[in-house]
Structure 1
Amino acid sequence: MSQKPTRLKSLRYPLLVLGLGVALASCSQKTTAPVAETTPATETAEPATPATPTYKVPVDYYTLDNGLKVVLSPDKTSPIATVAVYYNIGFRIEPKDRTGFAHLFEHMMFQGSENLGKMEFIQLVQKNGGILNGSTRFDFTNYFEIVPAHKLETMLWAEADRMKGLNITQENLTNQQGVVKNEVKVNVLNQPYGGFPWLDMPQYANKNWYNAHNFYGDLKDLDAATLEDVKSFFKTYYAPNNAALVVVGDFEPEQAKTWIKQYFGNLPSATLPPKADLTEPRQEKEQRFTKDDKLANKPALAFAYHMPERNSPEYYAMGLLDQILLQGNDSRLYQALVQDRGYTGSVEGGINYLGNMFNYNGPMLWMGNLVYDKNVATDSIVSVLDEEIQKLQQNGITQEVLDLAIVKMRSSLYDQLSQMYGFSKADLLATFALFDDNPGRINELESEFRKVTPEVMQRTIQEYLRPTNRTVLVVNPQAKI
């Protein structure tokens, strides 16, 4: 997490990621999880047609007797295999008074297991020509390896070995507490705009502790984590019945099923705790906050609106409104703030800054942010935002505008599915298995966006893009130039 990641356009902020890719030698180094980058649509994009989508991702989905969800998606285009294990635990529901614990535990997964000592998991992958990584997000923690296809069995064995049990020692815990605390200092406390807005905004906009706490971790909470905390967390959440295993790439499904049953089939399930209440109250009044930044030399502004419920018609409409307002150089806010008024050089944003609009499972924000010149009034930026939203509300969303948004979304979606040798495909398959018990949703997304009508778009603007549903956060620069 020592450098900023890319994402489906809007994620350009540090992830809680354990970087173990090519050219990395130790768990103490961090990089970014590969997440897809949106391809901006041009003004000459062809309108969407109502034709039925023909592209289908192969999905073979089943569950082992111990509750492990398994998704197989063969792809013979290249001789590689991607193995991804997703645990249904992210920083949103980490223990209270243990902020940053889910991320800290991610580090512990690389400290050794029954048959693989410290660093041996990493070496096993890299010496066989592969890459690996792990990350902590709102609602899951994931681990993946991309290896030559003939090493698939080895990776399944290795993932099962650490799901079975970790080498949890005080020495390993103390070491990784230091690593994570150093990350917080480097990426947040000692960086201009550190934590803005990916870490800050959820804490300002949300009211429920689960959605609103410092998920990177307060230093005192990281220090307070005990060996018993780690053991209990592993026993509770790192069980097969709280996980999804995805294999994408060049393999024979029947052989893969044999190996999966052999290595994962006998692992014991766990008694899972009741699900936390993540609901947020309806926001009835605009919120505005200012944050002093001793290292920043220009002001910055972020805005956030609470999202509709996931998988609802309005949810898909918000995805299309994001394309219209924020994604690409043809977007309304880029044209208004950058091209027309010159307030800033760029406007960033989207749904779910720590992933994309599909891979989360709770309340979420649609956000945008920009750094701007000191001679630009904050209210003038908010006024432009209101003006562009009001234009859509007053003039309506024509079918032509809607069709173009669908073209952009479709381009973004299929670009994402082609990223990182199958990992981005595995990401959606795993999260749809965990959150919806339906990884086949990956093949239904385009048709869901096509169901959105101008009337649904108008209804969504009215309810979710109202000023009273908005939080504005301004960075007040304090750096001495």
Structure 2
Amino acid sequence: MKNSLMALSGALMLGGIASAQNVAFEEYNLDNGMHVILHNDPSAPVIITSVMYHVGAKDENPERTGFAHFFEHLLFEGTENIKRGEWFKIVTSNGGTNNANTTEDRTYYFEVFPSNNTELGLWMESERLLHPVINQIGVDTQNEVVKEEKRLRYDNSPYGQLIPVVKKNMFKNHPYRWTTIGSMDHLDAAKLEEFQAFNKKFYIPNNAVLVVAGDISNKEQTKKWIQQYFGRIPKGPAITRQTFTEAPITKTITDTFEDPNIQIPMIVTAYRTPSMKTRDARVLDFISGILSDGKSSRLYKKIVDDNKTALQVGAFSYSQEDYGTYILYGLPQAPHTTEDILKEMDEEIIKLQTELISEKDLTKLKNKYENQYVNGNSSVEGIADNLATYYLLYGDVNLINTEKDIYNSITREEIRDVAKKYLNPNQRLVLNYVPSKDKAQN
């Protein structure tokens, strides 16, 4: 009886948290097809103006990879009304901050200002869309910036080639096979007209969602500004997107990659998984939690803590709009080897496939997700990003409030069945990520 009362109390507490965290929003379309989402939160005198475009690395020409990420940099160069080099000065001089980021599926830009600068933020984002200046000076400048970023994040970073190598093996047909940063040779070879054509095709209002979130003291005035600055932008031609299908992996893929930046080898296994929009992808998130979320997780406790086979182990779901990739990795602790780690990781996966996790562990998973949900919506920046993402990539803005219900409805049986469905030896890549032979000899 006592346990039942405690469980009921916990459920009521979870329900209270979820209800308290519901995000109110209003959404509508402009005549040019741009989707608009407004979220009012007067708790702090700040406003975020953000635009997410449905263009990422997967929309690129295979001979011109890196374009989507390149535009993340290029579109801060300036506009017809914002001189080159002035963008960041305008933002900082008005008490704001700004940033942008790119994935395989979308590109996102945002400014955070004191709420009395709402109009400024809207004007700047409309300028980026309506009056970008794409010239050779900007292309050449940002080309050097992107090259330096690639050197830091990929070429000279320990284990920096891990994701590129995994992607190349997991995808043979889909554009997910290349990285967001793309090829420097492709960017060097591209003509100015190609960058301008990319902008004209994808940077159109009917391929974007505008989110205004924060202290919207006068919603009607905000709507007037939105109409004034964005409503006049011409609608672009509808974008036809090609569908790419990958053949199932039916036997183990093996590969070896030599990295001159490392001294300790890494064993990596990767499995192709379904779109992040599916229920199975959410179940895989729970499986990640079971296997590698913290020092009490199964992989860490067994392989690092108890057996001391590995210095580090982990598992994560690399979720994307069309497909996902589920990745496990480990670094051996001498005298153990990567083969020892692989054996122990496989044992834990088999246990998930054949035994139901306990009700206590399931409750723990749900509580952890609830906490992540609350944290993800604890700032106006997080809410704006989530609103844009749920609209553009999931097709349902209200998932910001209801996705937690999907996670809370996951069962122990589903965890077992999803592990059996996707995490099998004949469906995976086994990658030996090792120090380069030249370095080892030195």
| TM-score, length-scaled by structure 2 | 0.92
1:458 aligned partner:
416
What pairs with 1:298-313 in structure 2 (closer than 5 Å)? Answer: 298-313=264-279
Alignment correspondent of 1:200: 165
| CA deviation after TM superposition for structure 1 residue 77, in Å | 1.3
Question: What is the aligned partner in structure 2 of residue 77 from structure 1?
Answer: 43
8 Å CA contact 2:91–2:98 kept in 1: the answer is: yes
Given the superposition, is the C-alpha separation of residues 178 and 202 from structure 1 closer, same or farther in structure 2, using an over 3 Å criterion? same
In structure 2, the CA distance between the partners of 1:264 and 1:423, relative to structure 1 (3 Å rule), is: same
Q: How many Å apart are 1:374 and its aligned residue?
A: 5.5
Report the CA distance between 1:137 and its aligned residue: 0.7
Query: Relative contact order (C-alpha < 8 Å, sep 6+): which is higher?
Result: 1
**Alpha-carbon offset, residue 428 of structure 1:** 1.3
Matched, 1:263 2:229: yes
Per-residue Cα deviation, 1:231-276 (whole angstroms, up to 9, x for no partner): 1001000001000111111113222211111110010111133112
1:472/1:57 CA distance change after superposition, 3 Å: same
Q: Tell me if 1:408 matches 2:368.
A: yes
Q: Give the CA deviation at 1:305.
A: 1.8
1:200–1:456 Cα change, 3 Å = same
Q: Provide closer, same or farther for how the CA distance between residues 77 and 375 of structure 1 changes in structure 2, counting only shifts above 3 A.
A: same
> Which SS does the other structure have where 1:49 is aligned?
helix
In structure 2, distance between residues paired with 1:201 and 1:402: 30
Match of residue 210 from structure 1: 175
Residues of 1 paired with 2:244 and 2:292: CA distance?
Answer: 27
Q: Deviations over 1:166-208 (max 9, x none)?
A: 1111121112112212222232222332232x33311222222
Match for residue 350 of structure 2 among 365, 369, 390:
390
CA contact (8 A) 2:283 2:410 kept: yes
When structure 1 is superposed on structure 2, of 373-382 and 230-239 the one drifting more is 373-382
Match of 2:4 in 1: none
- Which runs of no fewer than 5 residues in structure 1 stay unpaired? 1-44
Describe how 1:14-25 pairs up with structure 2 within 5 A.
Answer: none
Matched residue of 1:229: which SS?
A: helix
One-letter code aligned to 2:292: L
Q: What is residue 468 of structure 1 aligned with on the other side?
A: 426
1:444 match? 402
Which residues in structure 2 correspond to 1:20-169 (within 5 Å)?
Answer: 49=11, 52=15, 53-54=18-19, 55-169=21-135
2:148 equivalent to 1:182 = yes
Separation (CA, whole Å) in 2 of partners of 1:127 and 1:368: 45
Contact 2:291 2:315 in 1 (8 A): no
Distance verdict in 2 for CA 1:307–1:47, change over 3 Å: farther
Answer whether contact 1:87 1:141 (CA < 8 A) is retained: yes
**2:291–2:314 CA contact under 8 A, matched in 1:** no
The residue identity in structure 1 corresponding to 2:349 is I
CA contact (8 A) 1:334 1:346 kept: yes
CA drift of 1:121 comes to 1.6
Any idea what SS the aligned residue of 1:176 has?
helix
Q: Deviations over 1:266-307 (max 9, x none)?
A: 101111331122332222112221101122111122222222
Distance 1:216 1:324 in 2: 31
Aligned partners of 2:317 and 2:184: how far apart in 1? 28
Matches within 5 A, 1:345-364: 345-352=311-318, 357=319, 360-364=320-324
Q: Which residue of 1 aligns with 2:209?
A: 244
- 1:46 to partner: Cα distance: 11
Cα 1:309–1:186 change in 2 (3 A) is closer
In the alignment, what sits opposite 2:253?
287
Maintained 8 Å contact 1:108/1:172:
yes
Question: SS of the counterpart of 1:365?
Answer: strand
Residues 321-377 of structure 1 show CA distances to partners (whole Å, capped at 9, x for unaligned) of 11111212221111122111223333344222xxxx5xx411111223333346322
Q: Distance in 2 between matches of 1:369 and 1:65?
A: 49
Distance 1:173 1:202 in 2: 27
What is the one-letter code of the residue matched to 2:88? I
Which 5+ residue runs of structure 2 have no aligned equivalent? 1-6
Greater radius of gyration (CA): 2
Which residue of 2 is the match for residue 272 of structure 1? 238
Is 1:377 aligned with 2:337?
yes
Name the one with the larger helix percent: 2
1:460 alignment partner AA: V
Aligned length: 428
Kindly indicate whether the alpha-carbon contact (under 8 Å) linking 2:103 and 2:180 is maintained by their aligned counterparts in 1.
Answer: no
Change over 3 Å in CA distance of 1:250–1:292 after alignment to 2: same
> Could you say which residue in structure 2 is the equivalent of 1:191?
157
Q: Could you tell me how far apart the structure 2 residues matched to 1:187 and 1:450 are?
A: 36
Q: Give 1:103 shift.
A: 1.1
Identify the residue that residue 325 of structure 2 maps to in structure 1: 365
Distance 1:125 1:308 in 2: 40
Instruction: State, as a whole percentage, how many aligned pairs show the same letter.
Output: 32
Determine which of 276, 283, 296 is the counterpart of 1:317: 283
Give the Cα–Cα distance (whole angstroms) in 2 for the partners of residues 139 and 470 of structure 1.
Answer: 23
SS of residue matched to 2:11: coil
| 2:310 alignment partner, SS class | coil
Match of 2:3 in 1: none
> SS at 1:346's partner residue?
strand
Seen in structure 2, the aligned counterparts of structure 1 residues 77 and 166 have a Cα distance that, compared at 3 Å, is same
**Contact 1:308–1:464, Cα closer than 8 Å, also in 2:** no
Q: Distance in 2 between matches of 1:240 and 1:48?
A: 45
- Contact residue 308 and residue 333 of structure 2 kept, 8 A: no
Post-superposition Cα deviations, 1:214-237, rounded to whole Å, max 9, x if no partner, equal 432222112011111111001000
